[in-house]
Amino acid sequence: MERKVFKSLISIEEARKIADSFKVSRKREVVDLKNALGRVVARDYEAEIDVPPFDRSTMDGYAVVAEDTFNAEEDSPVRLKLVGRIAAGDSSKLEVRKGEAAEIATGAQIPKGANAVVMEEYTSESDGWVSVYRAVAPGENVMYAGSDIMAGELVVREGTILSPREIGVLSALGIPEIEVYARPRVAVFSTGDELTEPGEKLEDGKIYDVNSYTIINSIKEDGGEVVFLGIASDDSDEIRRMIEAASDCDVLICSGGTSVGAGDLIFRVFDELGRVLAHGIAVKPGKPTIIASIDGKPAFGLPGNPTSALMIYNVFISSLIRKLSGLGGRRNPEIEAKLALKVFSSVGKAEFLPVNIVKGKEGFSAYPVTGHYSGAITSLAETDGFIYIPAERVIAEEGERFRVRLFSEEIKPADLMVIGSHCVGIDVIFRLLRKKNPELRLKIINAGSTGGILAVKRGEADVAGMHLLDESGEYNIPHLKRYGVRDALLVKGYLREQGIIVARGNPMEIESVEDIVERSATIVNRNRGSGTRTLFDMQLREIAERRGESFEDLTERIKGYEIEAKSHSSVAVAVLVGKADAGIGIRTVAERYGLDFIPLRAEEYDFLIPKERFEMEKVREFLSILKSEEFSKSLPPGLRTYERTGEILALNPNS
Ligand code: AMP
Ligand code: MG
């Protein structure tokens, strides 16, 4: 019988309980010190010998009886009889008595009777006598046996992750091999007829396998040993064979084929070979997750969607692998941050929301990563971590505090933080900045024009890109006044040609907004609050006025007016695939998708910069590139600099 729905979604807490309930036993193995890096020590190690094993000299010079030198001065040296020479590694029976000295090398054993070393620099030697020009105290330039490590001392504890430093200590003790926890063997495979291995030719309808690579490397970070089995097609026999090939592994992780579609076989194969403990978790992303026990060992079926797969690995599997490998704990730290923008979360589903972290005047802010379709791997690559929004929450408010689980050890602050409406023009500036200085860490967060204004007010952005059209027809300044922005400057940027995007060849012969109305074209609109939407509505208002009808009546007749795309690209894609006949957007995007473009007006894309950051070197460089000839020449079609580019406007909210 085909399963058409998830039997029952379990909560994230239940799922975690199941994942944590696997009885796993850690194995041990012995490794050579040369191959011990990053391994986890499986028992305590005590020193069996002293380090150093004998008193030794820390300088090149002469071993002496310190008391002999007490009267030595620069202009009246003490003369001592040279009785021999001791090199590093010598086992010397030599004895130094009062009135005598022995030449000694760094690291050589201090001879019997001597208790100090005079540095070579303060001596001279001739005819079997040594002149000493400076006094030494007993013990000077001598490292005593056991002063580094004393026999019996606990030197490396169980659970220590071996770095070159601990490995150095163990080698000083003469320990050649060390007992560590064996890396858990984790079998990994991907499923899907559409998957191709990177490096191979991509046939029509196929995509490259992503999950194998994200999961394999996550397992390695968690101290596991990966047994990579490859890609299985959507075929139960093949999947069964892969699972059987992994019988000697401690954990099995596969991805794809976990939902309830016809080609989704993991549930059936897991069910046949073992016991399915969970199928479907009330979490976003990652609902189609399967947890099973096969031969008493944990088996996970991750969703195919790369973001979901990686998120589910991080949340449920990472800690299990770390427990097995002995690394323990969680891979990456958590920090606390305030949510930068309000977020609407799904009802009845817990959500892991990717965020970008920005440091502002009052600690960290977390910017939700949105506007990407779910599953975009790039959204993860550019993300600092994720927050957890519990199932019962529908809205998370701006300013609310959240724990952020980071994706790496630490957040590396950007040298230049640009937050706001995103434009390819900024990508061009970044490219030119990097050309000058490849080390620069530049970060751009797409938070919309208004998000950029808020970021500047909160002191989080160095630069905010914006293009907010006011009903008066003026760009940006009226909005900034309305938001009461002060202590910031507005730098005029460049012009972005806005117009109507239509299919190639303009089959409906649309030449104006009026034509959209006349020809009953289906449109795709932009989100309220975007500059493009304001422009479109302004034009519609004019048309309504001319025709003597209300704006509402007019827009009601426009098919698709209610459909709000969040970006220029989504508008272009809607036209490209035929979902809409027309949409308003920028020429740059129309050209990128090979669509026709009817210009309406050029919008003014400007940069808001906090006054106190204006003198920062990176901001100055940013602006000098904005004003450069090279920038102007590198802009894609539809974007152009003009006579106002680089003009600086002070904001006076009271005027
Ligand atoms: P599935 O869970 O098999 O229904 O797959 C969900 C989506 O993720 C589909 O668009 C798949 O093409 C995609 N997908 C599945 N496995 C992978 C993979 N290993 N790498 C990249 N994308 C994948
Ligand atoms: Mg699939």
Cα-to-centroid distance, 193 and ligand 1 (Å): 10
Q: Which atom of ligand 1 is nearest to the CA of 303?
A: 2
| 3-class state of residue 585 by DSSP | strand
Q: How far is the CA of 378 from the centre of ligand 2 (A)?
A: 20
Give residue 373's pLDDT band: very low, low, confident or very high (50, 70, 90): very low
Neighbours of ion ligand 2 (CB under 5 A): 192, 256-257, 304
- 137-167 pLDDT, tens per residue? 999 999 999 999 999 999 999 999 999 999 9
- CA distance linking residue 180 with residue 38, whole number of Å: 10
| The predicted structure's pLDDT at residue 349 | 86
**Residue to mutate (ligand 1; options 207, 265, 377; most atoms within 8 A of CB):** 207
- Mark out the alpha helices in 598-639 (DSSP H runs): 617-626, 629-634
Query: What pLDDT does residue 262 have?
Result: 65
The atom of ligand 1 lying closest to the CA of 261 is 4
Q: What would the mean pLDDT of 460-477 be, rounded to a whole number?
A: 92
The rounded Å distance from CA 229 to ligand 1 centre is 17
Whole-number Å distance, alpha carbon 264 to ligand 2 midpoint, is 6
Cβ atoms of 461 and 426 closer than 8 Å:
no
Alpha carbon 37 to its chain's center:
24
Of the chain, the percentage scoring pLDDT greater than 90 comes to 76
CA 240 from centroid of its chain's CA atoms: 35
- Kindly tell me the burial class for residue 363, based on how many C-beta atoms sit within 10 Å of its own C-beta (0-12, 13-18, 19 or more): exposed
Pocket mutation for ligand 1, best pick of 305, 373, 379, 380 (most atoms within 8 Å of C-beta): 305
Write down the mean pLDDT value for the chain.
91
Over 60: is that where the pLDDT of 623 sits? yes
For 223-253, write each residue's pLDDT tens digit: 999 999 999 999 999 999 999 999 999 999 9
> For residue 212, which atom of ligand 1 is closest to its CA?
19
Q: Residue 375 C-alpha to ligand 1 middle, in angstroms?
A: 9
Ligand 1 atom nearest 234 alpha carbon:
3
pLDDT in tens, 300-354: 999 999 988 998 999 999 999 999 999 988 788 899 999 988 888 888 889 998 8
> Which residues on adjacent β-strands are paired with residue 81?
100, 129
Tokens of 19: 């994942």
Q: What is the pLDDT of residues 32-69, one digit of tens each?
A: 999 999 999 999 999 999 999 999 999 999 999 999 99
CA of 307 to the centre of ligand 2 (A): 15
CA atoms of 68 and 81, how far apart (whole Å) = 11
pLDDT surpasses 70 at 4: no
Q: Residue 375: which pLDDT band, with cuts at 50, 70 and 90?
A: low
Report CA(223)–ligand 2 centroid distance (Å). 28
Ligand 2: distance of its center to the CA of 578 in Å? Answer: 27
Decide if pLDDT at 361 tops 80.
no
pLDDT at 1: 40
pLDDT given at position 331: 80
Pocket test for ligand 1, best of 203, 255, 307 (most atoms within 8 A of CB): 255
Residue 93, CA distances (Å) to 49, 87, 248, 417 in order: 22, 13, 59, 69
Of all atoms in ligand 1, which is nearest to the CA of residue 191?
Answer: 16
* Residue nearest atom 6 of ligand 1, based on CA coordinates: 304
Mean pLDDT over 271-278 rounds to 95
**Ligand 1 — pocket residues by CB below 6 A?**
190, 192, 194-195, 207, 209-212, 255-259, 303-306
| pLDDT at residue 548 greater than cutoff 50 | yes
Q: What's the whole-number mean pLDDT along residues 130-135?
A: 97
